[in-house]
Copies of this chain bind each other. A is one copy, B any other.
């Protein structure tokens, strides 16, 4: 709920403003950004490069509607790893991120080890992901699947 965060690890208010602007519009031209925050374009360029280098900006991506690329069925799959396979969790999760249907992997606390946000072509495709890539691997103790009716990005 806090609007102005506390711990900003060496970023000044201009950096935070740049991050906020780029989060809202990742294609805003460097010129416009510089204007908005009140610095010269070349300075702005340097700052943004630095924000990328330190990892404050992890990348720039188009937000593509899954329905338009033939993946209208979205689901959140909670996955529990078998307790005798915990060491493999890292490599396994990495392989999951490579499945085309997988859009996000959330490692969580609680009864399950992670949540998978997937977008599939149809229900058969969803079942294939669950049975072939998850339950079928012998690393998985259990899964629980929730259909996603709608997905909205926050502010």
Contacts and interface: CB of A to CB of B under 8 A. Distances in A.
Interface of A: 1-3, 5-9, 11, 16, 19-20, 22-27, 54-65, 67-72, 76, 93, 96-110, 112, 115, 117, 120-122, 125, 128-129, 132-133, 144, 146-155
Given A26-B26, A128-B1, A151 B63 contact: no
Contacts of A108: 76, 146-149
Question: Considering residues A62, A67, A120, which has the most beta carbons from chain B within 10 angstroms of its beta carbon?
Answer: A62
The list of the 3 closest CB pairs from A to B, nearest first, reads: A5-B70, A22-B62, A26-B60
Contacts of A146: 108-110, 112, 115
Contacts of A102: 154-155
Count copies of this chain in the complex. 2
Nearest to A90: B150
A127 to B, nearest CB: 9
A107 B63 contact: no
B60 A27 contact: yes
Question: Considering residues A20, A58, A69, A107, which has the most beta carbons from chain B within 10 angstroms of its beta carbon?
Answer: A69
A107 to B, nearest CB: 4
Contacts of A69: 5, 8, 11, 16, 19-20, 56
